[in-house]
Amino acid sequence: MSAIEVILVDHLDRPTGRMEKLEVHEKGLLHRAVTVYVFNSRHQLLLQQRASDKYHCGGLWSNTCCGHPYPHESTQHAAERRLFEEMGLRLTLTPMFELSYNLPMSNGLTEHEYGHVYFAISDDLPRLNPQEADSWRYADVESVSEEIDRNPLAFTPWFLHTFARIPEQLKRFTRKT
């Protein structure tokens, strides 16, 4: 993994510094993140299966994409950049909500993030970056919820945490669009 810096923040998402991404995850420090959920016109969620050789959570299913803003990069730009880098999709995203979580990973790293969550609707098919994702699929939100109940270990911890808010947020989003 290259030496990418992320933005350290306080509990109100105010920047407090910057640090190399892996070090932040090793120390479990709160930092800014972006999470993207893309739905098709039938309101099915575009899921990503993380590349099996990722430094954590490889092979697990997750939201469409996620990542971290660079220092001096807006969360909107970071979310749209990561969507293109991971899934090959260029979409305008809508900010939906923010949340914070502190989740231990299986390899000793910690996802302690202040997350900005974005939505989009598109029927464009992804063009996966094989360094980021092994596979993708569309699934009804209800089906994903049932799958989570049956096998939560098939999903990333942050997806499990954020997904609980998705059905209600999707209703709100589709009323606006």
> Is 72 known as a binding-site position?
no
- CB-based contacts of 76, cutoff 8 Å, min separation 6: 93, 95, 118
Active-site residue 113, yes or no? Answer: yes
Whether residue 112 is annotated as binding a ligand: the answer is no
Tell whether 56 is in a known binding site.
no
Catalytic residue (one of 113, 146, 147, 168): 113
- Annotated binding residue 25: yes
Q: How far apart are CA 52 and CA 74, in angstroms?
A: 29
- Cβ atoms of residues 162 and 65 within 8 Å: no
Rounded Cα distance between 16 and 45, Å, is 34
Is 111 a known ligand-binding residue? Answer: yes
Q: 108 — alpha (psi -120 to 50), left (phi > 0) or beta? A: left
Q: Which of 57, 65, 66, 80 is catalytic?
A: 66
Separation of alpha carbons 144 and 62, rounded Å? 10
Give the CA distances from residue 150 to residues 29, 58, 130, 145, 158, in Å, rounded to whole numbers and listed in that order.
Answer: 31, 20, 28, 9, 17
Binding residues for Mg(2+): 86
- Residues labelled as active-site residues: 66, 113
Binding residues for Mn(2+): 25, 31, 68, 111, 113
